[in-house]
Amino acid sequence: MKCILLERVKVMYFRTLFLIVFLMFFSSQADAFRCGNHFFTYGNTKAEIISACKNQSINNHSTKLIYNCGSNDFIYILMFDGNDILFDEHTQGRGYGNSQCLGH
């Protein structure tokens, strides 16, 4: 009986560990801005994003870039700190028309 209980605990432990690793991997992808085959997340520079994306943003202020990723996606606002390092990314509604997020 004790052996069966120990075996069940091991199975639950590995299932929980797998679930944690799985969720960590996909949550980091969800927090990323995608442009073509490139993923950008917190810590990337403004220059890296501009050089990888096919079209310039529709609004290139000193601290933010705005990308319209088309009618099948969203409009993304990327916020940068004083050193042009990405620190925030969020959406501003559905995109429209052709995508600016196709990359080179």
Backbone torsions φ then ψ of 87, nearest 5 degrees: -130, -10
Calpha distance 9→25 (Å, rounded): 24
- Per-residue pLDDT, 29: 43
Whether the model pTM is above 0.75: no
What would the pLDDT profile of 32-84 be if each residue is shown by its tens digit? 788 888 888 888 888 888 888 865 555 555 678 888 888 988 888 888 887 78
From the list 42, 43, 86, the residue with the least C-alpha distance to 64 is 86
